[in-house]
Every structure is written in structure tokens, then in C-alpha cells.
Amino acid sequence: MLYYTLDILDDASLLGAQLVDFSMEQNLKLTNSDGEMLNDPSRFRRLVGRLINLTITRLEITYAVNILSQFTHQPKEPHLDAALRILRYLKGSPGQGLLFSLNSKLPLIGYYESNWANRPMTKRSTSGYCVFLGIHLSPKTKKQKTVSRSSAEAEYRSMATATCELTWLRYLLKDLQVTNLGPAKLFCDNQVALHIAANPVYRKRTKHIESDCHVVREKIQAGQIATSFVPSARFDKEESPNPPKRSAEARSVKDQSKQRMGGSDDLLLKCLGKKEQLVAMIEVHEGICRARQTGIKMRRVLRRHGYYSPTILKDCINYAKGCQDYQRHDQIQHVSVGPMNPIMKV
């Protein structure tokens, strides 16, 4: 999906935009009444559609894309700004995605979360879950159909949704002759929701909850689902239906994708066209500019590896201008490119 991400950035003319740490601002409330109507709504709809396809491998933008997809009928300026912010976030790590390992563990594990009454217009909650079978297998975030009277009720509805997904996956694995799975583990950070699921007695405060939500109790008693408590701090906020918070832990995944450029020997450039030049530009910028070096250093790395092209140097400099860690822009204007040879490094 690297080329796909670069195509989206290129179409939106955001290859030189500044980076952001998260796909959506915390506590951002988007409504239908704020801002002015877009002159060309098709641009927003096309962008959201492409971002929906990208969520297959970039799970951390699922929440933000889910919010924006609810405004495609009448998009306004704040909605487009939020969509462009996602692109600025993706620019920081366009090659990041899912990595499927041969040593993945087999137990079926699910995490679920809810964001209570986060819809400003309808006061409905948002459910989200992520099922693991070694690696991400089935993530989803969706607005709940009814208004929940408490955060525990919203969590319980999310638990029912995740339970249905785990049950279906168990049936699927059984059809594939995968046996001895044991009960699927479902983790939750709400103690009240766990007590509601474990207690079959109907209470006054929970009697209004629809009977289909109590499928959780049935699966627990049948031994197909085993619920467990997990602290909220262990939930990845970029994958939960809550807006992410700024923290060192939340940035660790994105920073790890930049560690592999530690030495110049890790860089192997190959030019076959415009897209390959953009890929090389991204790699050089992430490895050099993040170390707070200048565009001149980028050119030296390119020359060291035999990659001499006026186009790649120009694109690399333009890309660096939008980086928050890049401050010495005045030196770029005086860089002498010098004689350049055709690209030959493979």
C-alpha cells in the first residue's frame, strides 16, 4: 500500500505538507452545521473513499475515517480539513502496514472499546473492536444504533458486537479444520460491563437493554467466550473508537518504522520511474531529516549510493521543507546541484 498512499498524497498536493503525530485532534467534534459548504464535494467523497480502502492495512486511521464518512452527503470545510490532516499523518510513515509472521500464535483474542455519547448531534456511542489471530484479523468501528444511558451500557453493547464476531470466526476456523482453540478471550476495560455479562440475573438498571445484547452471557456459559479485565492504559488509542492522546507510547510504532535507516548501508535505491523516486525520497527523508540534518546531507547520502538525479534531489528538498524537524530552509536555496548523471543504482 506504499504506492497507494503516495498516490493519495500526490493527488492532494501534500507531499510537502507538515507532519502531524495523530490522525485526528483530540476532543474534535465535527457537526453538520459548522463551516461552509465545499464548492466541489466530489473531492472530499473521493478522498474518503480512498482512505476507507487504506484502512485495510492502516488500522490506526479507522476511527478518523469512520467519523468523516458520515459527512459525505454534505461535506464542509472542517470536514475536508480533518481529512487532509489524516494525509499529513500518513506522510510520516507511508510504508507502514501489517506484518504477518510465520511464528504467530494461534489463540483467538479480541479487544473491544466504546466511546460513550461521542456523537454531538445524536448522542449515540461508537463501538470498536479488534480481533487477533496472531496478527490483526478483523478490526471494526461503528456507530451504535441506539442511545446508551451509561458508559457501562455502551461497553456492554460493544461487547455483544465483538462476541458475535468471535463466534463467527470460531465457526470459520472450525470449517477450516482448526481445532483445539479453546474459549476465545475477550478483553475489556470496564468492570461494570464484565459484571453484567457474568451475572444472568436481570436488574432494574439493565432490563431496558435489548435481549440480543445478552448473547454475551450465553456464550460465556457455553464456554465459547472467556472475558477478562485489562487496564485502559494497555489499549492502543489509535485503534480504539476514542481519539488518540499524545504520549510516547502512541508514537513508538511510528518511530520504530524509522529506526531501520540507522546506517547508510541500509539504503538501497532503485529508480524505475516517478513512484520509485518518491519511495527513495521518503526513505532518505525519514532516515536523515529525523536526525535533524539538512537537505545537503540528504544529497550526500544519495551520491554515496550512486543515485544521481536532479529530480530526486528536488523532490527530496521539497519534501523536507514540510517537516517539523527541518529548520534550515535557507541553506537549501543555495545548494548547487552540479552535474548529474543518469540513475544507475540497483
pLDDT in tens, 93-115: 888 877 776 666 678 889 988 88
pLDDT bracket for residue 54 (50, 70, 90): very high
Whether residue 22 contacts residue 295, with contact meaning beta carbons closer than 8 Å, is answered with: no
Lowest-confidence region among 10-19, 36-45, 198-207, 265-274 = 265-274
Lowest-confidence region among 46-50, 100-104, 211-215, 261-265 = 261-265
For 87, 262, 263, the CA distances from 267, given in Å and listed in that order, are 25, 9, 8
| Ramachandran region, residue 90 (left: φ > 0; alpha: ψ -120 to 50; beta: rest) | alpha
What amino acid is encoded at 223 in this protein?
G
- 298-323: b (≥16 Cβ within 10 Å) or e: bbebbeebebbbeebbebbbebbebb
Q: Which residues contact 114 (CB under 8 A, 6 or more apart)?
A: 125, 126, 127, 128, 144, 151, 154, 155, 157, 158, 241
Lowest-confidence region among 66-70, 86-90, 144-148, 238-242 = 238-242
Residue-level pLDDT at 275: 54
Whole-number Å distance between alpha carbons of 21 and 243:
12
Q: What's the whole-number mean pLDDT along residues 232-238?
A: 55
Which of 120, 112, 124, 203 is closest to 156 using CA atoms? 112
Give percent above pLDDT 90 in the chain: 15
Residue-level pLDDT at 87: 94
Partnered with residue 91 across adjacent β-strands are: none
Q: What's the whole-number mean pLDDT along residues 281-297?
A: 56
Residue-level pLDDT at 122: 81
Q: What 3-state class would DSSP assign to 161? A: helix
Q: What's the whole-number mean pLDDT along residues 128-148?
A: 83
Whole-number Å distance between alpha carbons of 75 and 204:
42
Domains of the chain in start order, with CATH, are 2-97 (no CATH), 109-234 (3.30.420.10), 259-334 (no CATH)
- 96-120: b (≥16 Cβ within 10 Å) or e: beeeeeeeeeeebbbbbbbbbbbbe
Q: What's the whole-number mean pLDDT along residues 280-308?
A: 58
pLDDT at residue 237 tops 80 = no
Q: What's the whole-number mean pLDDT along residues 166-171?
A: 90
The top-scoring range by mean pLDDT among 36-40, 243-247, 306-310 is: 36-40
For 186, 284, 295, 296, 310, the CA distances from 303, given in Å and listed in that order, are 52, 12, 13, 11, 11
Whether residue 232 contacts residue 190, with contact meaning beta carbons closer than 8 Å, is answered with: no
Whether residue 86 contacts residue 61, with contact meaning beta carbons closer than 8 Å, is answered with: yes
H or E, element range at 43 = helix 41-54
Whether residue 86 contacts residue 38, with contact meaning beta carbons closer than 8 Å, is answered with: no
Higher pLDDT, 29 or 300: 29
Lowest-confidence region among 70-79, 82-91, 161-170, 330-339 = 330-339
Average pLDDT, the chain: 73
Q: What 3-state class would DSSP assign to 164? A: helix
Whole-number Å distance between alpha carbons of 244 and 45:
24
Lowest-confidence region among 39-48, 189-198, 268-277, 294-303 = 268-277
Whole-number Å distance between alpha carbons of 48 and 66:
9
Edge-to-edge order in the sheet of strand 184-188? 135-143, 126-133, 109-115, 184-188, 225-229
| Ramachandran region, residue 173 (left: φ > 0; alpha: ψ -120 to 50; beta: rest) | alpha
Whether residue 276 contacts residue 306, with contact meaning beta carbons closer than 8 Å, is answered with: no
Residue-level pLDDT at 38: 92
Whole-number Å distance between alpha carbons of 25 and 84:
12
Whole-number Å distance between alpha carbons of 22 and 243:
9
The top-scoring range by mean pLDDT among 115-119, 153-157, 284-288, 302-306 is: 153-157
Residue 40: half-sphere exposure toward Cβ, Cα within 13 Å: 4
